[in-house]
Amino acid sequence: MLVNDKMQQNYEYFYTAREGEDFASDFTPDLTPPQMLALGVFEGHYLNDCKKEFPHQWFKNAKLSLPQACAEINYFKIKSRMSLSEWRRRGWIIGPDPRGWFQWYCRYYMGRRIPEIDAWQIKRWRAFKRHYIQVKKNCPILDFDCRRRQRQALLQWAYNPLF
């Protein structure tokens, strides 16, 4: 895959695993990238300029926002993300994925593997489970108004927030 978009020029990568399969044993996301996009993540303002990199069907039911982000597009209708500049400041943008975790996940899902980066991102994903545990511990079953910001964040990390 050759990538030429707003944030990346002439980046080339290859698929070495089957799409949606051959994940690391400790990486078991609840949601696929197209499911996440269809539910409403990142205020609809993610991957808008790089759709050519991913399968067309991913965007068939995606909730997207142009030209700017819109919290109403999120599943929980709430802003739940930090700016990309904040992610950079905190050192969370590494390697060849200038958009961060979700871009890494999309590429990983498609079959790209970079062992060191994969291990780092999977470790971050596993650490995010603490939010799932907090919501589960503090919210009545099916009370989706409880901890909406945390639930939206879970959704954006491929955890099912609807329990």
What is the C-alpha to C-alpha distance for residues 137 and 148, in angstroms, rounded to an integer?
14
What is the C-alpha to C-alpha distance for residues 105 and 35, in angstroms, rounded to an integer?
13
Q: Give the residue extent of every domain in the chain.
A: 2-156
pLDDT in tens, 77-122: 998 778 888 988 998 898 999 999 999 999 999 999 999 999 999 9
Percentage of residues of the chain with pLDDT beyond 70 = 100
- DSSP letters, 56-73, are GGGGTS----SSS--GGG
